[in-house]
Amino acid sequence: MSDDILRLEPQAVWKNFYSLTQIPRPSGHEDKIRKFIADFGRNHGLDTLIDEVGNVIIRKPAMSGMEDRKGVILQAHLDMVPQKNSGMHHDFENDPIVTVIDGEWVHARDTTLGADNGMGVAAAMAVLESTELKHGPVEVLFTSEEETGMTGALGLKPGLLKGEIMMNMDSEDEGELFIGCAGGINGTMTFNFRGQTLPAGYMGFEIKVTGLKGGHSGMDINLGRGNANKIMNRVLYEGHALYGLLLASIEGGSLRNAIPRESQASVAVPVAMAESFLDGLSGLSGKIKSEIATTDPGLIIEAIPAAIPDTVIEEGVFVRLLDAVYACPNGVMHMSSEMDGLVETSNNLAIIKSSRGAVAVKCLLRSSVDSAREDLVAMIRSVSELAGAVSVFDQGYPGWKPNPNSPILKSMREIYKAKFGKTPEIKAVHAGLECGIIGGSYPELDMISFGPTIRYPHSPDEKVNIASVGRFWDFLVETLANIPHA
């Protein structure tokens, strides 16, 4: 297991990916991987620097005879999303990822794999260390904290990069070339509360919502999967309305860019209503399971007897929270009218967490149309204000407007067709690729995004197709060998 991937082809890529699986790199905790990559560059005698926000930039001169080619920037992000299945004991800040070869795919054992964006990082490393590949001047930009706010891309200073063409290697469908992406913004509603002492005659329960698939809040938002926060809110809403349930604490979801897979809440129910509550929960659970049986069949909703909480959230605030979460939009808002099958605007109701007298409801709003994103902001702000919460919208980032006349697009489309006998699909993606942000600081860059086939990123079901890694690598090698003259 795990090191079996060292025998996969192309070994130049898989050996580097194996190294990445051995170095913890959850988003926001990237010191170890940053040092590893910087040491990698310096040990190969390459110009290496770490900028103010933790990006690593490594430059490699052109190979002999290729000095007159345009400079290329290969770009990938260092961090990965840390998600694991219930019951899996894994410390993402210290433990390596255990990989498993399963037929045509590689996945991890009950955790995210980190192929997003480890495959892009591994391919860039293979280019940097090769003494045989044909290429002109190459820079590799390894960005920091892409998964939790695109910190590296946002903090990248103009003037650091020298290249004219940028290849982002963070797409997840081999055979597709991406030329546009959605912009996004974080939204947070905060409900302040005072603890309320429970009167006599209550018993405690721990309610758990588990078994959902989750997934990438951009790429998978249109798949109709269950949102653990929305489902939990539905349970609590009915529990309060029919059985007098009160809420002590809640924690659902963990990352803004992951569809929430699990939620748990500590509640109190009047003893006299406890049996009716459990019967009602069983009936509601059956209804919700039936509603998403096709898209998310693994849903489990359970109420486990627990200690009676010392205090609960004051009932008035609890009711306003329930109303706000029910009213808050979630999922696809609009589909693109310009590109078939592309989500234009969406919201992921990602995290609900109570702590120290406040409940935070955190969302990630995405759209490829700035005005539509602003409309969604106004919608959620209105929900927040009506519910008496404080709303904040921050860490916004721009989208990447498609350029169908891009020179690198034309070149790569021709190369792919000549090499593989078919024309690659040209697409935009409903996710926050760093191209949009980097393009804001470097507006003259000719950009494109591509990568191997990855399924279910941001969830423990994440997997990468082995054969697609080979095609992705061969395509990258051929493209670098045929970069236009400066």
Kindly give the confidence (pLDDT) of every residue in the chain, 486 residues in length, as a single tens digit, with 9 standing for 90 and above. 568 999 999 999 999 999 999 999 999 999 999 999 999 999 999 999 999 999 999 999 999 999 999 999 999 999 999 999 988 999 999 999 999 999 999 999 999 999 999 999 999 999 999 999 999 999 999 999 999 889 999 999 999 999 999 999 999 999 999 999 999 999 999 999 999 999 999 999 999 999 999 999 998 999 999 999 999 999 999 999 999 999 999 999 999 999 999 999 999 999 999 999 999 999 999 999 999 999 999 999 999 999 999 999 999 999 999 999 999 999 999 998 878 889 999 999 999 999 999 999 999 999 988 899 999 999 999 999 999 999 999 988 888 888 889 999 999 999 999 999 999 999 998 988 899 999 989 999 999 999 999 999 988 999 999 999 999 999 999 999 999 999
DSSP E strands: which ranges in 137-292? 138-143, 165-168, 176-181, 183-192, 195-197, 202-210, 246-252, 263-270
pLDDT for the residue numbered 132? 95
Residue limits of CATH 3.40.630.10 in the chain? 3-181+399-481
Rounded distance between C-alpha atoms, residue 124 and residue 410, angstroms: 22
Query: Which of 252, 246, 240, 248 is CA-nearest to residue 266?
Result: 248
pLDDT for the residue numbered 236? 98
CATH architecture of 3-181+399-481: 3-Layer(aba) Sandwich (3.40)
pLDDT for the residue numbered 1? 53
| Identity of the amino acid at 207 | I
Rounded distance between C-alpha atoms, residue 472 and residue 113, angstroms: 18
Q: Is 79 a catalytic residue?
A: yes
Q: Which of 79, 147, 220, 461 is catalytic?
A: 79
Q: Is 185-397 assigned to CATH 1.10.1510.10? A: no
What is the value of pTM for the model shown? 0.75
Q: Is 146 a catalytic residue?
A: yes
Dihedral (Cα; 135, 137, 138, 141), 10-degree rounding: -160
Residue limits of CATH 3.30.70.360 in the chain? 185-397
Q: Which of 146, 344, 446, 462 is catalytic?
A: 146
- By the 10 Å C-beta count (0-12 exposed, 13-18 middle, 19+ buried), 62 is classed as middle
Tokens standing for 450?
């591509």
